[in-house]
Amino acid sequence: MPRPIFAEIDLHALRHNLSVMRSKAEGRTLWAVVKANAYGHGLENAVTAFADADGLATIDLCDAELARRCRWQKRILLLEGFFDATDIERLESLKVETVIHSFWQIDLLRKAGVKDVRCHIKVNSGMNRLGFLPVEVNAVYDELTSIPGVRVMDVVTHFANAEPTYFGDRPATVEKQLARMGRLARGGAAACMANSAAILFHPEVGGEAVRAGVALYGVSPDSHISSEELGIIPAMTLAAKIIAIQEIPADEAVGYGSRWIAKRHSRIAVVACGYADGYPRSMPDGSPVWVEGQIAPLTGSVSMDMLEIDITDIPAAQLGSRVELWGRHLPVNRVAACCGTIGYELICALARRVPIVLREDA
């Protein structure tokens, strides 16, 4: 028997979420972001589920190669561009488009003698990670179009804080970033600016293309707004089974460091999931899991391969009961908030050793 833990990936949910984001895109080109192994959901699964997207966006040429092997024939975009001169030949052979964010990339393109490379100019509108300043874009465009075989597709930028709960008096609101973009953001004929949060919450953001990321996987980009409210369905459920039950008296401790101490006679279940599976060791006592239709609290430190929960008040929980760590019944954003992170990190950190089970029922 395999170890009783698995991540259930719901292909119907992925397709549904793509349909929701397609509707929100209102006719614009829709890139489906599949970096980080499709946010932990499996790139091959994403290629299948996102067949109706206009293109895939990722950061690694290896992903592009895998997508092509999976018979993806539409557009592919490298969001961080290429990293070395040796990447350029592969770009062309795979027919992959690339973001250009630095002058050194332009220099490499000029020296490469390319025949057909499609470029997207990255603009730094306030995120201050990658990209050219808006005032540099004209010069960058001229440099790129002067290189034989290079075609400029559009300008792209990324919003640092498109969630509605971001404070408006901070430096990098959507409005302030759009203002920095200036004429580049107006008209919208050749710009790709909106991420999941901007697609959902900022209809004023124009452009001819959008990039849908975390919302495609059924996770709300704003932890204060539920997936249900947005009409999207969580596509990943991380579940494991109870493999042992301990009856312990009051004042007994559980786990490494004896952090959790029973205040009463307690029924403690051992679950086959640990930090080596992607469930954070930093989760505090009381963090929720879902079992037999109820919430049970975490008890003690998460170990490499196991964690413990208090099922004293859940008599239906028995050996073999399925425990949901996050998913349909327990939003990943709620779980992530317990240890001070975001749902993105948890789903992306799902360990490769966790078996994937596909589900496709509506």
Instruction: Enumerate the domain spans of the chain.
Output: 11-219, 236-359
Q: Which residue has the tokens 């640092």?
A: 160
C-beta of residue 54 within 8 angstroms of C-beta of residue 74:
yes
Instruction: Please state, in angstroms and rounded to a whole number, the distance separating the CA atoms of residues 43 and 221.
Output: 20
Angstrom distance (rounded) from CA 21 to CA 32: 10
Q: Is 279 a residue of the active site? A: no
Active site residue 256: yes
Q: What is the pLDDT of residue 270?
A: 98
Neighbours of 190 (CB within 10 A): 16
CATH architecture of 11-219: Alpha-Beta Barrel (3.20)
**E strand spans, 81-225:** 97-100, 117-122, 150-156, 191-194, 209-212
Mean pLDDT by 10 residues, the chain (362 residues): 95 98 97 98 98 98 98 98 96 97 98 96 96 96 97 96 81 92 78 96 94 98 95 98 98 97 98 98 98 98 98 98 97 97 97 95 64
At residue 166, the 3 state secondary structure works out as: coil
Which structure tokens are listed for 214?
Answer: 């975390």
Q: Assess if CATH 3.40.50.300 describes domain 236-359.
A: no
In degrees and rounded to multiples of 5, residue 97 shows phi and psi of: -85, 155
Distances (CA, A) of 277 to 43, 51, 307, 322, 348: 19, 29, 11, 16, 11
Calculate the CA 55 to chain-centre distance: 16
The pLDDT score that the predictor gives to residue 130 is 97
Phi/psi of residue 119, nearest 5 degrees: -120, 150
Distance of CA 194 to the CA centre of its chain: 15
Which residues are registered as beta bridge partners of 254?
A: 260
DSSP letter for each residue of 206-234: --SEEEE-GGGGT--SSTTS-HHHHT---
Q: CA nearest 333: which of 199, 236, 239?
A: 236
Question: 39, 241, 256, 275: which one is catalytic?
Answer: 256
Contact 249, 190 (CB under 8 A): no
Which residues are known binding-site members? 129, 304
Instruction: Say how far apart CA 44 and CA 59 lie, in whole Å.
Output: 16
Of the residues 35, 241, 279, 344, only one is catalytic, namely: 35
What are the binding residues for substrate?
Answer: 129, 304
How far apart CA 330 and CA 144 sit, in angstroms, is 48
DSSP states of 275-320: GGGT--TTPPTT-EEEETTEEEEB-S---SS-EEEE-TT-TT--TT
Buried b (16+ CB within 10 A) or exposed e, 247-283: ebeeeeebbeeeebebeeebbbbbbbbbbebbbbeeb
DSSP label of 123: B
Closest CA to 278 of 360, 205, 347, 191: 347
Structure confidence at residue 187 (pLDDT): 58
Nearest by Cα to 132 from 113, 104, 112: 104
